[in-house]
């Protein structure tokens, strides 16, 4: 397993992976040291993540290799289908996965997403349009949604 730590507008970010793909992208505390060199296997992921923050990239295309249960993988795959700048509710996501009663399990799998931003769990909101739970902090979720859709600031929050 190799890693790189880079600065982003939302804090230092650790990217972990191997030759199969990126397995995790997480926000760290500010005490972490940024990487002096980026391993070749992670260079594309780092470049795309930074381009996302610059506003020049909407869709990521580097290989992903997240570790999780079959159900978690199914939820994370569904998250990948949420378009840039759009949001859906946990209820809508549960319906999309075929079981409205699984809303709590869907929310839990959403919260275990190991690929911050790339698998866009930040695009899932409450049925009433409210920002609800986000492992990186609600302020980061708000920032990401505003970054992706600046014109929706007033209606979303």
Show which residues are catalytic.
121
Joined together, the tokens standing for residue 109 give: 């799998």
Dihedral sign for Cα 57, 130, 107, 98, please.
negative
Q: Where are the alpha helices (DSSP H) in the chain?
A: 40-54, 70-79, 90-96, 103-111, 138-148, 153-156
Residues 99, 108: contact at Cβ < 8 Å?
no
Residue 17: strand, helix, or coil = strand
Q: How far apart are CA 110 and CA 104, in angstroms?
A: 10
């Amino acid at each position: 397993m190799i890693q790189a730590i880079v600065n982003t507008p939302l804090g230092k970010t650790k990217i972990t992976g191997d030759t199969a793909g990126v397995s995790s992208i997480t926000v760290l505390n500010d005490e972490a040291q940024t990487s002096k060199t980026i391993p070749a296997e992670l260079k594309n992921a780092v470049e795309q993540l930074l381009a996302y923050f610059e506003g020049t990239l909407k869709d990521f295309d580097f290989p992903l290799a997240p570790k999780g249960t079959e159900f978690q993988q199914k939820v994370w795959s569904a998250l990948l289908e949420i378009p840039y700048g759009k949001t859906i509710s946990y209820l809508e996501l549960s319906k999309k996965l075929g079981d409205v009663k699984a809303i709590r399990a869907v929310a839990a799998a959403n919260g275990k997403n190991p690929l911050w931003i790339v698998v866009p769990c930040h695009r899932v909101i409450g049925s009433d349009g409210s920002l609800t739970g986000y492992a990186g902090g609600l302020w980061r979720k708000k920032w990401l949604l505003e970054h992706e859709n600046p014109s929706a600031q007033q209606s979303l929050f």
